[in-house]
Amino acid sequence: MGDEDKKQLEQKLWDIANELRGKMDADEFRDYILGFIFYKYLSEKILSYANKLLAEDGITYLSLDEDSADGAEYLDAIKEEAVEKLGYFLKPSELFGEIAKRGNGDTNNFILEDLTQILRNVEQSTMGYESEDDFGHLFEDLDLTSTKLGRTEEAKNTLIAKVLFHLDQINFDLDNIESDVLGDAYEYLIGQFAAGAGKKAGEFYTPQQVSKVLAKIVTTGKSKLKSVYDPTCGSGSLLLRVAKEVDDVSNFYGQELNRTTYNLARMNMILHDIHYRKFDIKQEDTIEHPQHIDERFEAVVANPPFSAHWSANPLHMSDDRFSQYGKLAPKTKADFAFVQHMIHQLDENGTMAIVLPHGVLFRGAAEGHIRKYLIEDKNYLDAVIGLPANIFYGTSIPTCVLVFKKCREDSSNILFIDASNEFEKVKAQNYLTDENVAKIIDTFKSRETIDKYSYLASLDEVKENDYNLNIPRYVDTFEEEESVDLDAVSAELKAIDAQMLETDNTITSFCDELGIAKPF
């Protein structure tokens, strides 16, 4: 599928999403449309899989009679295979296309109750199986009884049936293994919803170009990864972006606090054809209740909430993640708590990249103490990259990327990159172009000093700056103003005076001719 076709698909899906909008907020109708797209994906996936299983018998999945003995026998056998292979099961009558036809038919077209039950059945089909945790409560945010869908049951049913009809007309091309049309479209929609969600967007979405920077950094020099981990994974887009930079990722791990966003992350993984055995996404507070604490990861990425509050409970001083530092991050700024947590989870041969507010570079007290320990005692900090302001949804503050490695190839220096002025403006948002991203990554790989863009600082220089990492201390971006030619300015002022005198004389002559008083 070409770029133009992909754009058309994305626009179609966005138009369908807006059918649902009504009086709903962006994050509310997001949950409905992404949930329905996911249901369509699951339906098409199992239909294709079941048809392949039935091909030898010369029958199709939709031709099975669910009420007959033979049909029931087939369904039992297919369910056993499907739950093992795909992780879930849907009967032919429960498929998206069948429900869409019913909802838009002339008779028996009330589908809300059946649709609610079908979505529950998807979840229940996994109970007792290995995939149970990955599919449990996935559809809990699709409240088909909400008055936001319509004032009456009939109005709600009409709206949902209309949306299902439009979605049913779209070919997701799932059998084309070379194409990730649906995955790309899903990412597009998530981005569109983030753009409309304002401050809430920061909870679940990292702009794709920023994700690309982080992903390229942690995969530098690698074609395969054993594991990638995001402790604040949001919609899972950053994890998936890392996968695009290598040939294979064996396992994906993530943790997310927000329940709705956690559901979205699991859908996103499955919809991108990540097998349920290859990902482990948990829902909990990462700092207070880490769910993968005994694991170590080859790549660690995150865009945590900036300067979030956390408990800073003194009991954390006995936690292996924090104990060696001697101090905890401030209660009102958990930025370094996330850094410490991620470093604890980073494997010896791994790379970690985290987006943070600029304050982490220079704030003192406990944060200064932690920063010094990471550089002087551990020598884990590999690079500091300054990003432009206003590139995240919901906040206009400038941000930076800190890169950490436990086994650094260049252990005697730290690379500073100032990319804060390298962007394009798109409407009210600043945007990193592919060229901007490439320049960051090329400089990160070459570790070159480039005038007014990057500087390779020795550890002694960082020490002389008292471990203050504020980028202007290392990268001089000052542009000298052109010198002023005072003689030329003087001559210009004299010319203006002469011109003003000439104008005054002209006005005076006009006033004399008209016999009126002069205005000066």
d(CA 430, CA 424): 6
Strand 346-357 and strand 297-302: pairing? Answer: parallel
Q: Which two tokens stand for residue 487?
A: 């003689």
Q: What is the mean pLDDT of residues 156-178?
A: 85
Cα–Cα distance for residue pair 162/165, rounded to 1 Å: 5
Strand 381-386 to 399-405 pairing: antiparallel
**Residue 479 has what pLDDT?**
61
Predicted confidence band of residue 174 (pLDDT cuts 50, 70, 90): confident
Residue with tokens 């809300």: 112
Q: How far is CA 282 from CA 229, 265, 293, in A?
A: 11, 10, 12
Structural domains of the chain sorted by starting position, each given as residue range(s) with its CATH number in brackets: 3-196 (1.20.1260.30), 221-473 (3.40.50.150), 485-520 (no CATH)
Q: What pLDDT is recorded for position 61?
A: 97
- Segment 23-50 shows an average pLDDT of 88
The predicted structure's pLDDT at residue 2: 57
| Joined tokens for residue 171 | 């070919």
Distances (CA, A) of 26 to 99, 144, 189, 194, 393: 26, 17, 11, 8, 13
Reading the block at residue 474, the tokens are: 């290392």
Please provide the distance, in angstroms rounded to a whole number, between the alpha carbons at the two ends of the chain: 75
**HSE-up of 415 (CA within 13 Å, CB side)?**
28
Residue 256: strand pairing partners:
283
Percentage of the residues of the chain whose pLDDT score is greater than 90: 72
| The predicted structure's pLDDT at residue 201 | 46
Could you tell me if residue 87 is left (phi over 0), alpha (psi between -120 and 50 degrees) or otherwise beta? left
> How far apart, in whole angstroms, are the C-alpha atoms of residue 461 and residue 143?
58
Q: Which of 345, 456, 354, 348 is CA-nearest to residue 403?
A: 354
At residue 394, the pLDDT reads: 73
Q: Is 21:29 a contact under the CB 8 Å cutoff?
A: yes
| One-letter amino acid of 293 | I
What pLDDT is stored for residue 385 in this prediction?
A: 98
* Tens-digit pLDDT profile for residues 417-442: 999 999 998 877 899 999 999 999 99
Question: 226: which residues sit within 8 A by CB, 6+ positions away?
Answer: 250, 251, 298, 347
**Is residue 105 over pLDDT 70?**
yes
Which run of H or E residues covers position 302? strand 297-302
CB atoms within 10 A of CB 140: 15
In this structure, the number of other CB atoms found within 10 A of the CB of residue 7 comes to 12
pLDDT digit string (tens) for 179-233? 567 787 888 888 888 776 655 544 557 889 999 999 999 999 999 999 999 999 9
Model confidence at 493, in pLDDT bands (50, 70, 90)?
Answer: confident
pLDDT of residue 333 exceeding 90: yes
More confident of the two residues 230 and 398: 230
Q: What pLDDT, on a 0 to 100 scale, did the predictor assign at position 106?
A: 85
Residue owning tokens 């942690």? 218
- pLDDT digit string (tens) for 61-91? 999 999 999 999 999 999 999 999 999 999 9
Mean pLDDT of the chain: 91
At 457-474, the pLDDT tens digits run 999 999 999 999 999 999
3-state secondary structure string, 144-157? CCCHHHCCCHHHHH
For residue range 249-288, what is the model confidence (pLDDT) as tens digits? 999 999 999 999 999 999 999 999 999 999 999 999 999 9
pLDDT at residue 480, as a whole number: 61
Beta strands in 157-274 (DSSP E): 224-230, 248-256
Give residue 488's pLDDT.
83
